[in-house]
Amino acid sequence: MVCLRVLCARCAGAHSGQLCELLKCRDCRVRAVDGGTLTARTNELMKRVDEMEAMGARDSTMRTQRRGVQDYLAFCGTRGAVGLPATEFDLKAYVVWALLERTPRLDTSSIRTNLSGVSAWHVSLRSAMGGAAINPRKALGVRSLLKIADSNYKLPSKAMECMTYAEWLGVVERGYPDTRSGRQRRLLFVLCTVCPLRPAAAAQLVITYRVGGDGSIVYGVDSQVEVVRGAAGWAAPHLLVHLGKGNARADKNVDAMHTRSIPVPCRMLGCNPVELLEAYVINERPPSGNRLLSAPLGATGFRSTAYTAACKAAKDAYVRAHPAALAADVLHVGGSSPRKSMTQWLWEAGHSKRAISDMGGWRSQKEGVDYYFTTSKLQMLQIKTELDPTLPPRTGRA
């Protein structure tokens, strides 16, 4: 292994966009490039390189990769091995340990996720060493062993499942207490359904607004949540949720160049999302310029961090709404259940995979003609307004 041979008092390891500790602070890396001197121009260019590279990984992805590396290193500690850089046998041994000896056992999907962190570490190592490093995660033997593990050691699925419409409506109507926290959790649950949104994306939504003298809400131009009234082609009030507007890491498949706005009609699925949002804003007054769905604190305050208890909140609301539910029913309810439920209802209503992908923000394989059109906001509003999950499923696609 090659060391960069440049150290300073601030060198404590990798910058936020890297995993490998060989990548030191920017001053040290500038000196390494400029032969021991600190050049302002190289520093400026390296800063821009760092900023651009940081766009390639969301914060949540970096956290997941670090957790994977930590779990792998914990295994290496049990056998007295250094672990990094890894060998092909190190990764094979980790797979066997995680499947057969670790407490609790890991599913093969979790092992793959952890090994993606180890792989990212080796990618960073290659950058530090100028390409002179091997990534053992790409080795044929490791990939073959993972395929064998998928076929023989897959754990029973614990994936969140969709709810019936009756279950969902029961949660909305009876699942939350009439408290500040209860109203915040109900709004989160509804937005994750009607948009639909991943809970982590909903938790990052920032609202900017002011309340006028007549009690109306005026939304800021940079607000990621707003109510539109009197729009051409759709006069009724409707929500617009902007993903990537000022927060390119808010969701998967969203970045500075690929933002998307999600329309939500004022009436759908037996509730009024517009009324729910504006009542929450008027009554609770989340701070303008901060996250809409941060957890309330005390009588008037809010936490400064993003809300992260969507899974527990959904389970608690389900039990409150359906006290006779079996433990097995509650097990598969979680933060992603609203999004999965909405998607299933759209599919059962006969809508095309393309329309559902456009509404949910999923990337799908496209042919040339698919780049010439998309599902418009007016189409989405119409589809959502007419959605009735109480009707029998349709077999044909719209």
Quick one: 100 and 235 in the same domain?
Answer: no
Q: Which domain holds residue 10?
A: 1-56
300, 162 Cβ separation under 8 angstroms: no
Tokens of 357: 């992908």
- List 255's β-bridge partners, or say none: 258
pLDDT in tens, 270-300: 999 999 999 999 999 999 999 999 999 999 9
In a 13 Å sphere around the CA of 13, the CA atoms on its Cβ side amount to: 7
Last residue of a domain, one of 16, 34, 56: 56
Q: What is the pLDDT of residue 319?
A: 96
Query: What is the DSSP secondary-structure string of 70-96?
Result: HHHHHHHHHTT---SS--HHHHHHHHH
pLDDT at residue 282, rounded to an integer = 96
**Do 267 and 326 lie in a common domain?**
yes
Residues 176 and 136 in one domain: no
User: Which of helix, strand or coil describes residue 240?
Assistant: strand
The structure tokens listed for 76 are 């290496």
What is the CATH number for 300? 1.10.443.10
Count, residues in the chain: 398
User: What pLDDT is stored for residue 51 in this prediction?
Assistant: 81
C-alpha radius of gyration, the chain, whole number: 25
Say whether both 72 and 17 belong to one domain.
no
CA separation for the pair 225, 209 (Å, rounded): 10
What are the angstrom distances between the C-alpha of 286 and each of 50, 154, 226, 283? 34, 44, 14, 9
DSSP secondary structure, 48-66, as one string? HHHHHHHTTS-HHHHHHHH
Structure confidence by residue, pLDDT tens digits, 82-102: 888 899 999 999 999 999 999
> 131 and 24 in one domain?
no
Q: Is residue 30 included in any domain, yes or no?
A: yes
Q: Is residue 392 part of a domain?
A: no
Shared domain for 272 and 176, answered yes or no, is: yes
Q: Within this chain, do residues 16 and 62 fall inside the same structural domain, yes or no?
A: no
Q: Ranked by mean pLDDT, which of 253-262, 330-339, 369-378 comes out on top? A: 330-339
Residue 16 in this model has a pLDDT that exceeds 60: no
49 versus 187: the higher-pLDDT residue is 187
The CATH code of the domain that includes 104 is 1.10.150.130
Tens of pLDDT, residues 209-222 = 999 989 899 999 99
DSSP 185-212: HHHHHHHHHHTT--HHHHHT-EE-EEE-
How many domains does one find in the chain? 3
Residue 397 lies in a domain: no
Last residue of a domain, one of 105, 123, 152: 152
Residues 229 and 321 in one domain: yes
Dihedral Cα 204, 205, 209, 214, nearest 10 deg? -120
CA distance 65 to 110: 11
**Domain co-membership, 46 together with 64:** no
* Residue 160 within a domain: no
| Arithmetic mean of pLDDT, 183-199 | 96
What average pLDDT score do residues 105-119 get? 94
Whether 40 and 126 map to the same domain: the answer is: no
What average pLDDT does range 160-176 have in this prediction?
92
Does the residue 339 lie in any domain? yes
SS (H, E, C) 307-358: CCCHHHHHHHHHHHHCCCCCHHHHHCCCCCHHHHHHHHHHHHCCCCHHHHHH
Q: What average pLDDT does range 327-334 have in this prediction?
A: 88
pLDDT range class, residue 115, cuts 50, 70, 90:
very high
80 has pLDDT over 80: yes
**Residues 183 and 258 placed together within one structural domain of the fold:** yes
pLDDT at position 6 is: 42
Residue 395 counted as domain residue = no
Residue 273 lies in a domain: yes
What's this model's pTM, rounded to 2 decimal places? 0.74
Is there a single domain that holds both residue 38 and residue 112?
no
